[in-house]
Structure 1
Amino acid sequence: MTAPAMLAIWSDVTPEQETDYLHWLTREHTAERLGIPGFQAVRVFRAALPGVCRFLIVYELASPGVLTSAAYLARLNAPTPWSRRVMPLLRNFARGGGRVRDVRGTGGGAWVMPLRLDRMPAAAPALLDALAAEDRICAVRLLEVDQQGSGVPTGEKALRGGDAAFAGLLLVEATGADALRGALARHQPAIAALDGGAAEPALYAAVFSLRQAVP
């Protein structure tokens, strides 16, 4: 992912709802989103948490302005019947998008460690450099959330009954889970100082990806 903007979305479903949720994502919802101008690619990850069906969706955007574009808002205010059925089922929903403020590395890993930030740091180049230099780390990205753009009221948001907000996202990508655990252990104090949330954040494995078709 090398786009200048991203949109990150978390949600939980029950084990009984998981198959329908994944069918909705892979057979309708993500393709629908990539049909909106400015949506370039999507990846879906599942948390490695026993007994919890938690998913992270990361969209690659052409610019932060896509979040408030007329085409996107039109879709958010006219959800499909399948979306209308799924949206009220989602729990622990969090959503935020904006510009990618800093990047180290290239490509994407099969495993990611997403750290939601309650505040954006003034700068964090040393930490990003150190994380990207770790063995088997593919890329590190720092997303600054556009609170106004991410918080626009929509028909879909009304179906969910409220979304959690966050100021930023540190997304660390690797070829394996052990590489992420090692990087976290070695840089935990610096990550904590960045306001990285949980001392032991969940790791996520890739389960699906889709890129906008090129005419």
Structure 2
Amino acid sequence: MLAIWSDVGPEQETDYLHWLTREHAAERVGVPGFEAARVLRAELPGTCRYLILYELADPSVLAGADYLARLNAPTPWSSRVMPILRNFARGGGRVVAEAGAGQGGSLLALRLDRAPAGEAGPLQAIVAEDRICAARLIAVDAARTEVSTREKALRGGDGSFPGLLLIEATDADALRRALARHAAAVRDLGGEPAEATAYATAFALRGGAGTAG
């Protein structure tokens, strides 16, 4: 998977969403190895924060020729949007542990301060909670994620993180209850529960669904 965070100003949000839903997501899932895109909005009053999750066939596509060609030839619309993105952070790699199945209406995303080693036990306990659908741990491949490109230069620098915990649920309250019950396990994974944010899906697209090739 590849996870990308960014904030936009309220006055820029509509253009940003049009860019994502009318050009950018289709462009990305048109890259061989990019299987699906999902755009989520943080449940943070007064803040326009978005998380984009891409499903990948393999982490190697992050440094593959097809993807790098796109990153080094941004469209005019991308060239206009990239410089306005704030608090940008990006990390992609392998799903090293997962439990449950499918996607929920709400997702909790928590960056970890170390790469997970594949600790499946905590995830199994989390998905046993009411209304929790799935949980995943991603270990970021820094070498492939941090390749310099024209798009990165337009943003002026990206934040990074070594690992990521994703929890899917039917609703945000279920996420908060599960996080509270398993706070110690989350800290053991390298996450700080107080920093966790719930996200709601705004848009999703799978490869082959009218995407640009």
Provide the TM-score with structure 1 as the length reference.
Answer: 0.95
In 2, distance between residues paired with 1:88 and 1:77? 15
Q: Which residue of 2 aligns with 1:179?
A: 174
Contact 2:72 2:150 in 1 (8 A): yes
* Superposition deviation, residue 194 in structure 1: 1.4
Q: Which residue of 1 aligns with 2:100?
A: 105
Q: Which residue of 1 aligns with 2:85?
A: 90
Contact 2:99 2:120 in 1 (8 A): no
Paired AA for residue 8 in structure 1:
A
In 2, distance between residues paired with 1:156 and 1:29? 13
1:203 aligned counterpart, secondary structure: strand
Q: Given the alignment of the two structures, is residue 34 of structure 1 paired with residue 29 of structure 2, yes or no? A: yes
Q: 1:204 to 1:214 in 2, by over 3 A?
A: closer
Q: Given the alignment of the two structures, is residue 152 of structure 1 paired with residue 147 of structure 2, yes or no? A: yes
Q: 1:198 to 1:137 in 2, by over 3 A?
A: closer
Q: Given the alignment of the two structures, is residue 120 of structure 1 paired with residue 115 of structure 2, yes or no? A: yes
In 2, distance between residues paired with 1:194 and 1:63? 23
In 2, distance between residues paired with 1:103 and 1:120? 15
* Superposition deviation, residue 123 in structure 1: 4.2
Paired AA for residue 133 in structure 1:
A
Paired AA for residue 159 in structure 1:
L
Q: Given the alignment of the two structures, is residue 58 of structure 1 paired with residue 53 of structure 2, yes or no? A: yes
Superimposed CA distance per residue, residues 72-98 of structure 1 (whole angstroms, 9 cap, x where no aligned partner): 000000000000000000000000001
* Superposition deviation, residue 122 in structure 1: 3.5
Contact 1:10 1:94 in 2 (8 A): yes
Q: Which residue among 184, 195, 212 is the counterpart of 1:189?
A: 184
Which aligned pairs between 1:70-89 and structure 2 lie closer than 5 A? Answer: 70-89=65-84
Contact 1:105 1:138 in 2 (8 A): yes
Contact 1:145 1:167 in 2 (8 A): yes
In 2, distance between residues paired with 1:163 and 1:69? 19
1:92 aligned counterpart, secondary structure: strand
* Superposition deviation, residue 172 in structure 1: 0.3
Superimposed CA distance per residue, residues 125-180 of structure 1 (whole angstroms, 9 cap, x where no aligned partner): 22111111111111101111000000000000000000001001110000101110
In 2, distance between residues paired with 1:80 and 1:122? 37
Which aligned pairs between 1:18-29 and structure 2 lie closer than 5 A? Answer: 18-29=13-24
Q: Which residue of 1 aligns with 2:204?
A: 209
Superimposed CA distance per residue, residues 168-208 of structure 1 (whole angstroms, 9 cap, x where no aligned partner): 11100001011101001101111122111352411100010
Provide the TM-score with structure 2 as the length reference.
Answer: 0.96
In 1, distance between residues paired with 2:76 and 2:39? 22
Give aligned pairs, total.
210
In 2, distance between residues paired with 1:114 and 1:20? 25
* Superposition deviation, residue 124 in structure 1: 2.0
In 2, distance between residues paired with 1:202 and 1:96? 17
In 1, distance between residues paired with 2:209 and 2:21? 19
1:184 aligned counterpart, secondary structure: helix
